Structures are given as structure tokens and as C-alpha cells.
Structure 1
Amino acid sequence: MEHVKALAIKGIMTLIVLYVILSLGFGISFINTLILTVVLGAVSYLLGDLYILPKTNNMIATMADLGVTFIIVWILGTVLTGMGLGTMIWEAAISAVAIAIGEYFFHSYISKKPLGANKRLRASYSH
């Protein structure tokens, strides 16, 4: 149940940020923003939140999320929208920075939850 709650929080945060930047700011369709949100949420939750964060620290996991966001929004965004890589790079960079800021706070939240490998991380914070 904790995973569902964490994914819901992450998904809502990501959708709002990407909608404001990509849809409102750059005119990318809502459906493309939604697809990017789902793909990005799944990849970054598994990689950044459940794998990297428990083994390192918040800043390293946040930087990993920044990189993952940039790559996914840049490459998948280019495929979905038909924009050139050179054009989509700005949307990806702005999105990556904004998502990374949110991820920093999200990591603080999930570090306190019993989510798989985070159980060990949570135990280390309580000492």
C-alpha cells in the first residue's frame, strides 16, 4: 500500500510539473505529457527511488533523477511530438531541473517509509 501512495504522490507531482512546463509552456499535447509522466514515473521510481536512494543519499538520487528526466523527456518527447532533438532539448532541460527539485523533497518523504530496500535506509536515519 505504501508503494501505491508513493507512486500516486510522485505521479501527481510529475504530471503537474510537466503539464505546466510542457503543455502550457511549450504547447505539447496533454496526452503526450501524460505518456511522458507515466514512463518517467515508472523508470525514476524504480531506478532513483527504490534502487539508488537506499544505496547512496538524497543528493545523488536527485542528480540521477535529473539525468533520467532529461533523457526521457528529450528522447521520448522528440519521438512523441516529432520535434527535433535540438528543439526538445530546452523542454527537457527545464523539465529536468523542475522535477529534480520536487524529487529532492519526495526522497525525504519516501526515506521515512517502509518501501523495500528503503527499510534499511529508514533504519539508518533513525539512529
Structure 2
Amino acid sequence: MNGLHLTADLRHCRCDMAWLTEEARLLAACVQRVQDSGLQAVAQLGHRFPDTAHGPGGVTATVLLAESHLCVHTWPESRSVSLDVYVCNFGADHSARAALLMRSLLDLFEPGEALQRAVERGATPTAL
């Protein structure tokens, strides 16, 4: 169960709006970046949400990894994105690959602000 869970909340993304609204384009980019980082995609799913009075609908892109998962959620009306990269470190430490994947996604979206977090999963619990 040991692993690394990376998250990032991105605001004021300067990327092409298509990255925030086009499901197929975003999903293909996610799969390519997973492969480029040395992780293994085993399945993928994307969904585009309907347009609203606030603007075009956002996208959710999910790539299941042999090591765990990548999830991307976009809010084009506010040019915001949330990223979630989790890798299990069973059999090998995939932490550097997860960090490389996160960096490539940050480069794609070009955020004006990014709140990043890293959580080591599976550490020995402490008594409450």
C-alpha cells in the first residue's frame, strides 16, 4: 500500500482553451504524458460536461495505471484544473515517474498559480 499521492489545484491557466474543453484531445495528451514519464496506462476514460450559462463544459480525464491512476478535472469558465496522480510503490519506487508526470501536466496547463501537495501513502499509522 506504500505510494505517493500528488495533487495540484491550478488557477489562471494560460493554455489553449481546447485543453480545458476537448475530451479526446486532453485524454490523448494524458496517455502520452503517462507513457513519456515511464508509467504504464492500462485503461482510459474521458467525459465532457455540458455547456452552462457560465461557459463551455469542463472535462474529466482518467487514466488507470498499472501503478494506480491519473485524474484531471477542468473548469474552463474559471480556467482552473485539478490534478491527481497516485502511484503505488509495490515492487518498485515510482515516485520520480509520478513527479515527472505531474511536471509535464503543469507545463501543459501553464497555470498562473498552482497549489501542490504530496502525501506519502501507507506509512505506519499512529495511535489516535
TM-score (norm 1): 0.39
Question: Whose helix fraction is larger, Structure 1's or Structure 2's?
Answer: 1
Question: Whose strand fraction is larger, Structure 1's or Structure 2's?
Answer: 2
TM-score (norm 2): 0.38
Higher RCO by CA contacts (8 Å cutoff, separation 6 or greater):
2
